[in-house]
A and B are shown apart, each in its own frame.
Chain A
Amino acid sequence: MAKINRPPVIYSPSSLQDLLRIYNLNKDAVIYAGGTWSLLNKESDNFNLKGSVINIMTVDELKKINRTDRYLELGATVSISRILELGKSVVPKALYQALRQLGPPQIRNMATIGGNICVSNRKMDLFPILNLHDAQLELKRQKDLRSPRRLLKGDSKWIAAARFIDSEGKVNMSPGEILTRIRIPNENWEYQSYTKTGSLSSPLVFAGLASTDKYVITDFRICFSTSKERIVRNREIEADLIGRRLPLTRKEISYLNNKISDVFQSLNETDFTTARAIALTNQFIEKISDPIADQDNF
């Protein structure tokens, strides 16, 4: 018997309340936002989507940008190009650089920040930076009327970006839950760096933040994301470097390299990835050691 290729059922909710209600009823539905990743690698003229699709681009609440003295708050379906339009003075420099590398203008116009965070594979682009900036993510779900928490206002929770994915790289969201807002604290970092190396199949992303005072490192944070979809951040290495005088001595650099090597090898990463991670860290240390050579501090 011929297989019937039914077209998908499309939902276009007009408000967040509607979206949560629809998603609660169709927990297996595909969420459509920018579509720049989920619709790739399909060859025919149809995407052949199955079941239900919820188009969240019609929800205005998810497109809002809010800026206060303490943080920058982005709705999940704010496009990458809209964030870039805010400018370098509003968006943290490393995040700005990461967003600029996300693709050509036509992709940046379509891709959303929430999509980049939630879609597996792509989440590794921004995660190291969101992690270093201690960004918070708001997850919302339909209020369960049978739950003892039903009297509380909405069923939403804020979690740290670092807790959003587990050690195996899986997104920490329950069925029916949706990412609605991303809150990035305003912090003054003297040096910010973002580098993505390698191909799409084996990328290594490095993000670094540092502050110095009279050639002494006062704060230092580095984070990597690897092709195995792992976030690598070692606070012991960071704590070791705080308080050290710049430029670092050869002994200190060698100690740092050994530490990074140990961390990557304990995660069974390849020697090539370890070598790249060490090189990127050394490059960042060089940058903060010689600020005159790097006028933009970037």
Chain B
Amino acid sequence: MNITFNLNGKEVSVDSRPDKRLSALLRDDLNLKGLRKGCSNGHCGNCVVLMDDQLVSSCIIPAFAARHKNIITIEGFSQTKEFSDILTGFKEAGVHLCTYCAPARVLSTAYMLRKHIVPTVDQINDNISSVQCRCSSFSLLKQGIIQASLQYSKRKTNG
């Protein structure tokens, strides 16, 4: 089955089984290694991508469901200014993420900041729970996200 979708701003067409995992399609067929394979049940959050501006677990999405969608992976997101805001925020708070969860953590933070420029404690907690990795402490991650939101809102208000 020919599956066409917009990947990181470019139209992509892949010939694949319709029931192939989107994570496998992106990682193996399209060589996007920033996407990690985790639990394959959608809960660990290491395979998240932005699909039509929604954070989704790519491991439980079959390829046919990605047709005509806009998909952004960490490779595409790293070209944006939001990416550097989040990295600066994390750096200022002293957050050092492992290479396994960093892409997913950045994408999930970006998703939250796009929805809530100034997130509440509940929203931050919710965001931290979306990626399951114990490389950083909970309180440090919280600080990192707060710093990232400050960077993000500063850039937004300065235009």
Contact = CB atoms under 8 A, between A and B. Distances in A.
Q: Do A and B come from one complex?
A: yes
B24 to A, nearest CB: 4
A262 B68 CA distance: 55
B60 A39 contact: yes
Interface residues of A, number: 29
Given A35-B65, A53-B64, A55-B65, A107 B42 contact: yes
A36 B42 contact: yes
B96 interface: no
Contacts of B61: 35, 110
B19 A104 contact: no
Given A40-B41, A42-B40, A110 B20 contact: no
Contacts of B112: 105
A110 B108 contact: no
Contact of B40 (A12, A43, A104): A43
B154 to A, nearest CB: 24
B5 to A, nearest CB: 14
B43 A104 contact: yes
Contacts of B34: none
A290 B83 CA distance: 48
Interface in B24-79: 24, 28, 40-43, 45, 48, 54-57, 60-62, 64-65, 67
Contacts of A10: 1, 18, 64
B55 to A, nearest CB: 5
B20 A46 contact: yes
B18 to A, nearest CB: 5
A104 B129 contact: yes
Given A47-B19, A57-B65, A7 B43 contact: no
Contacts of B28: 45
A18 to B, nearest CB: 16
A79 B53 CA distance: 14
A249 interface: no
Contact of B56 (A41, A55, A106): A106
The secondary-structure label for the interface of chain A is loop
A48 interface: yes
A195 interface: no
B17 interface: yes
A164 interface: no
B144 to A, nearest CB: 17
| Residue among A7, A47, A49, A106 with the highest chain B CB neighbour number at 10 A | A106
| Residue among A10, A45, A48 with the highest chain B CB neighbour number at 10 A | A45
27 contacts: A7-B1, A7-B17, A8-B19, A10-B64, A12-B67, A35-B62, A36-B42, A45-B20, A46-B21, A46-B24, A47-B62, A49-B62, A53-B19, A53-B64, A55-B64, A103-B43, A104-B43, A104-B129, A105-B108, A105-B127, A106-B45, A106-B48, A107-B57, A110-B42, A110-B56, A110-B57, A110-B60
Query: What 9 pairs across the A-B complex have the smallest Cβ distances?
Result: A45-B24, A104-B130, A47-B19, A49-B19, A109-B54, A10-B64, A106-B55, A7-B17, A106-B57
Interface of B: 1, 17-21, 24, 28, 40-43, 45, 48, 54-57, 60-62, 64-65, 67, 108, 111-112, 126-127, 129-130
